[in-house]
Amino acid sequence: MKNEARVLDIARHFHSQTDPRLHEDQGPLTIVAGHGATIIDDLGNHYIEGMGGLWCASLGFSDSRLADAADRQLRKLAVYHTFNHRSNEPTIELVEQLAALAPFENARVFLVGSGSEANDTMVKLAWYYHAARGHADKRKIISRYGAFHGSTVMGAALSGLPHMHQSFNLPPLPVIFAARPFHYFDSLPNETGRDYATRLANELEALILAEGPETIAAMIAEPVMGAGGVLVPPEGYFRKIQAILRKHDILMLLTKWSAVSGALETGSAARRSAWSRTCFRSQRGCRQVTFLSAASSYRTRSTNASPTRRTRRECSATDSPIPVTQ
C-alpha cells in the first residue's frame, strides 16, 4: 500500500503551501501514527514534531481523552449547524466554557472552522462595524511584513509573504503593510527594545497619516509572529501601537492565539492577553466578540482546560480592544 498510496497522493492530492512540480518528484512524507510529540511515517521512521502539527496538537497526536469524547459525541449527534437560531448542547457547553476564560464580562464566542475563516470574518465584521457607525470609507487593513494570516484570498492578502501574492495573481485588496517587530535584525545600533518599539509606533502613525486615518478600518497582528520567524515583540510594543490605533479610531485584530499556546510553553500568557481583546468593544456599547477556530475550541472543551497565568505579556487587560482568532 505504501507505493500505491504515494502514487495516488501525487496524482490526486493538491497540497496547500506546496510546489506541485516538486511534489511530483519527491512525493509525500506520509505519517501513519503518532503519540505524544512523536510521529511515525510509513517507513517506520520516528520524528519529534516540534511544530505540533500546524501548532494545533498541543495535547499530542493520539490523546485517548479526545478520542473518547469524539466517539461519544459522534454516536449521539455527529454534526449540526448553528445558523438561523439553531443550536445544540455541546456548542452551548463549549461557548460557556470559552467565555469563562475571557478576562472581561459578557464575552460572546463566534465559532469557525479555521484560522483563515476567522480572519476573513474579523475583517468583514470590522467593515460592518465602521459602516454601521457611518464610516463606510474605513476599509483598509494594516498587516505586517512577514505575517501569515491564512490561505484564503483575504488571508493570503493579509499575509506579508510575497510568494502568496505573486504566484496567485491576487486582485487588488485594501491591505497595507507595516514593519515587523524584529529587534534582533531590524533595530538600529545600540537601540534598546523600548526605543525600537517607540520607533515602530511612530512609523505606524506615519503610515496611517499618509494613507488617511479615515480610510483605515483595522490592524491585524499575531502576538508572537509565527511563520515570520517566531518573533516576540519588544517590551511595550503592543501598548504603544494600540495607543496610536485608538487615537485614529482604528480597530486592532489579534490573531493566532492557539498557534502561540500550542507551539510555546509561554503561550499561556499570550493566550490570556489575547482573550482580553475584542474588535467590537467600544464606548458606543458594541458587543464583545471572540473568534476561535473549531480545532482550538474542541481541544479546550474536551480537556476542560483553564488558562494558566505565569508572566504578563505586553497586551494587558487595560489596553485597547482586540478580537481573537485561532
Express as a percent the part of the chain with pLDDT over 70.
78
The model's pTM is 0.74
Q: Would you say how long the chain is, in residues?
A: 326
CA dist., res. 6 & res. 210, Å (int): 52
pLDDT of 269 strictly over 80? no
The pLDDT tens digits of the residues spanning 176-208 come to 999 999 999 999 999 999 999 999 999 999 999
The pLDDT tens digits of the residues spanning 4-51 come to 999 999 999 999 889 999 999 999 999 999 999 999 999 999 999 988
- Comparing 315 with 215, the larger pLDDT belongs to 215
Domains and CATH numbers, the chain: 2-49 (no CATH), 82-303 (3.40.640.10)
C-alpha separations of 292 from 243, 257, 259, 274 in Å: 25, 9, 11, 11
CA dist., res. 156 & res. 170, Å (int): 8
- Comparing 76 with 301, the larger pLDDT belongs to 76
Alpha helices in the chain (DSSP H): 2-12, 20-26, 52-55, 64-76, 89-101, 115-132, 153-158, 162-166, 183-186, 193-211, 237-247, 257-263, 267-275, 294-303
Location of C-alpha cell 473549531: 294
Give the list of residues 6+ apart from residue 96 with CB closer than 8 angstroms, or none.
none
* Least confident among 58-67, 206-215, 266-275: 266-275
Give the list of residues 6+ apart from residue 174 with CB closer than 8 angstroms, or none.
139, 140, 141, 215
DSSP 3-state assignment of 111? strand
Q: Please state, as a whole number, how many other Cβ atoms lie within 10 Å of the Cβ of residue 8.
A: 12
CA dist., res. 192 & res. 198, Å (int): 10
* Least confident among 130-139, 194-203, 285-294: 285-294
CA dist., res. 176 & res. 193, Å (int): 24
Q: 159 and 256 in contact (C-beta within 8 Å)? A: no
- Mean pLDDT, the chain, as a whole number? 79
Q: So what's the pLDDT on residue 162?
A: 81
* Least confident among 16-25, 95-104, 283-292, 310-319: 310-319
